[in-house]
Amino acid sequence: MATASEYRNMSAADLKKELVDLRREQFNLRMQQGVGSMPKIHRFSAVRKDIARIKTVLNEKNEAGS
């Protein structure tokens, strides 16, 4: 789990790659929950918050570039 300031230091391409990785992890967590083998229930909220942070930073970068 990274902070927003760490995400702000990353490039837009790196942020998009990180976003894809987090969405993949979120999907895998949902599949594990469906099967009934959820060892890391706390990761749901952490991944969701990281996705929101990255989207916020990407929006800030897009608005600054416009």
Domain at 17, CATH number: 1.10.287.310
Q: pLDDT averaged over the chain?
A: 90
Per-residue pLDDT, averaged over 7-21, amounts to 94
Q: Is the pTM higher than 0.95?
A: no
pLDDT of 50 reads 96
**CA 66 and chain centroid, separation:** 24
Percent of the chain with pLDDT over 90: 62
Provide the domain count of the chain.
Answer: 1
* Residue among 36, 29, 32 nearest 51 (CA): 29
Which residues constitute the domain of residue 54? 4-65
Cβ atoms of 10 and 59 within 8 Å: the answer is no
Q: How many CB atoms lie within 10 A of CB 28?
A: 12
